Structure formats: C-alpha cells, structure tokens
Amino acid sequence: MVPTHEEMHLALTQRHGATLQAKFDAGRVAICGLGGLGSNVAIALARAGVGQLHLIDFDRVDLTNLNRQQYTVDQLGRYKTEALAETLERIAPYCTLRMDTVKATEDNLPVLLAGDDIICEAFDVPEAKAMLVSGVLEHVPEKYLVAASGMAGLGSANTICTRRAFGRLYLCGDEASDVSDGLGLVSARVAVCAAHQANMILRLLAGETEP
C-alpha cells in the first residue's frame, strides 16, 4: 500500500526537522543530463523530499549505461526522462516531476531553465558541459549551478571534493581524471561525485552557500 502524502512528509520531517524539510519542499532543481551523475543526483534529491525535479535529457537508455546509471534492463530503449521518472515515482510518489526530452542548447537554455532555482550540470560530453556553464553564467546568472569535472577511473574517492569556483558556480569532482585518458567510468566513483553534487544542492536549498 502506498503511504499518503501526509505520512511520507511526516517521515521526512522527523528525519530532517520541520524547518529544513520546508526548504527542501520548496526546492526547484533542474538536472541537465540523466546519465551516471544525473540519475544518481535525481534519486538522492527525491529521497530527501525536494519538491520539484526538472529532468532534462534527449537520450535513450542503452546497454552500456547500466554499469553506472540508475536504469534497469527492462528500461532499455526508453527515453531516460521517462524511465527515470518511473523510478522516481516509485521512490517519491509526491515529488513534482517536470520532463523535457530535448537537447539543451545555448539558445533554449533561458526558456528551458526559467522555472528552476538550482541547476545541476550532469552531462557526459565536455562540450555540452562547457556550453551549459557558459550559457547559465551568461543568460541566468542569478541561478545556482552545481557542475561536475573529473570522476573517471579507480582513483581514491577522497580526491573527489566540492569547491566554490566563483559566484554561484560550484564544482564537484577531482577536476583531473578524464575518460579521454583511457580511464573508464566506474559506478562507485561516479556515484561519489553525484553524491557531492546532490549534497551541495541540498546545502544550497538549506541556505548554506559554502561547500
């Protein structure tokens, strides 16, 4: 039996306290890219009771995604927005989900992100990462942006950290490791970086601006 909204909210309030949970309730977070980073970030935020998640990705679930992304074999071939929304609805049925199955571009960013307070950059491709960061800084500089750089390989998880780059831009990762160096993306280390991003987003929702 699915618990009521009131029952789930009470359980979250008991864990987080009423004041903090109210801030999470009011959160509106865009997750740009729903791969190894974004799918893990979305689940962490949904479990924390963030009120609205905006899922943005144009890709479909592929067999090569299953080593690190929060999808299942029966979801192969489906759009990631739809597959992840299905999972999130099972975890947090009262979370408001917005889905845009589109490719984010510098031209559509201002409209695409208009209703969001915090933006999570979770793309796999360096060019897409750079586009989103520069686009947000140029078009919507008033919004917080939590980006990621460096999580490949099996290096120590302790090298992954969160820092405030400048203004409202935060970077999570080791800022060095790259798949172009022949290093693969391994689920555990990618998940560590995603947890850093999710934690920073929750801190920002709570009013904490330092990493």
DSSP string, 185-200: P-HHHHHHHHHHHHHH
pLDDT of 68-93, one tens digit each? 999 999 999 999 999 999 999 999 99
| pLDDT > 90? residue 182 | no
**pTM of the predicted protein model:** 0.96
- Contact predicate 176/134, CB 8 Å: no
pLDDT of 116-155, one tens digit each? 999 999 998 889 999 999 999 999 999 999 999 999 989 9
Domain that holds residue 31: 20-205
- Contact predicate 110/134, CB 8 Å: no
**pLDDT value of position 1:** 84
Place of tokens 């924390």: 48
| pLDDT > 80? residue 37 | yes
Dist. CA 197–CA 171, nearest whole Å: 8
13 within a domain of the structure (yes/no): no
The CATH number of whichever domain residue 112 belongs to comes to: 3.40.50.720
Mean pLDDT of the chain: 95
69 within a domain of the structure (yes/no): yes
94: exposed, middle or buried (Cβ count in 10 Å: 0-12, 13-18, 19+): middle
Per the structure, the count of domains in the chain is 1
